[in-house]
Amino acid sequence: MTFYTGIFYVLAFITAIATFMAITRRHALHAIVYLIISFFGTALLFYLLGAPFLALLEVIIYAGAIMVLFLFIIMMIQIRPSVQTWAAALKQWLPVILLGGIAFSLAVAMVFADPATPIPLKPAVAGPREFGHFLFEQYWFPVEIASFLLLIALVGALYLGRREGKSPANQTEKAP
């Protein structure tokens, strides 16, 4: 049990707890905050598992951009925290708990039944330079596709988010 192992377990615990808190909050805003903590934990885990560049990206893109986007949207559409009785909440969660429990236990069983999995990981680090080389040599095509995908998403989001009614040409149009 080395230092790194201990950190791993602590980080894993924090991440799991944060995620659990995130999914059980009534106010979406609180959930987002907890989720940010969870993503920080994940980023640190990435760093521990030998992917510092990915840890960086996680923080910047995931915890930074995506979660902030969520925050903006939540504040913009002004959702109220849901008010529920205890019984209704149980009815909402019960099928999920059951099914999820079954699926979870199956997956756990599969994980532990495989003789290949309990092998301890050997520590290694992939520096950004090596990683970049690798990415653009082996996977350059998917990178191009990913950028294209982002472009499409941008266009889609712009189109979906536009407001009607300002220009005279729009006023006669029907709502899509």
Partner 1 sequence: MKTVLFLLVFLPFLGALSLAVIGRHLPRRVGEMIACLAVLGSFVMAIIAFVSAGQKSQTVTLLPWFGVGDFSAVMSVYYDPLAAVMALMVTFVSSLIHLYSVSFMREDEDYVRFFCYMNLFVFAMLVVALSDNLLFLYLGWEGVGFCSYALIGFWYSDEVKATAGRKAFVLTRIGDVAFGIAIAFFFLIYNTLSLSSINEQAASLSAGMATALGMLLLWAAVGKSAQLPLAVWLPDAMAGPTPVSALIHAATMVTAGVYLLMRFFPLISLSSTTLLTIATVGAVTAFFAACSALSQKDIKRILAYSTISQVSYMFLGVGAGDLIGGMFHLLSHAFFKALLFLAAGCVIQALNEEHDIFRMGSLRSRFPVVFWLFLAGALALGAIPPFGGFFSKDRILLATFIHPDPAYKILWVLAAVTALLTPLYTFRLFFIGFLERPSATRESSQDKQGLRPVPKLMVWTLWPLAILSLIAGLLNLSSILSGNEWLARYLSPVPGTVPSLAASPALEGRMEMGTGLLSIVMLALSYYLYRPQKFLVTPTPGALPQNLEQLLFFGFYLDRFYQIAVVRPYQKIARFLWVRVDEGGLNEGFDRTGKLFPVFSIGLQLWTTGRLSTYLKMLLLGFTVILCALALGWYPW
Partner 2 sequence: MMVPFSHVLLLAVILFALGAACAIARRNLIMILIGVEIMLNAAGLAFVGASLRWQHLDGQAFVIFILAVAASEVAVGLALIVYLQRRTGSVDANRYNLLKG
Among 99, 149, 151, 157, binds partner 1 (CB under 8 A): 99
118 binds partner 1 (CB under 8 A): no
Q: Choose between 153 and 173: whose C-beta lies nearer to partner 2.
A: 153
From CA 59, how far away is CA 101, in angstroms rounded?
30
The C-alpha atoms of residue 92 and residue 87 are separated, in whole angstroms, by: 9
Among partner 2, partner 1, none, partner that 102 touches (CB below 5 to 8 angstroms by kind) = partner 1
Euclidean distance between CA atoms 25 and 34, whole angstroms: 9
Contact 101, 95 (CB under 8 A): no
Answer for which of 16, 20, 88, 100 binds partner 1 (CB under 8 A) is 100
Q: By CB under 8 A, tell whether 89 contacts partner 1.
A: no
| Rounded distance between C-alpha atoms, residue 109 and residue 93, angstroms | 23
- Give the interface with partner 1 as residue ranges (CB under 8 A): 95-96, 99-100, 102-103, 106-107, 109-110, 113-114
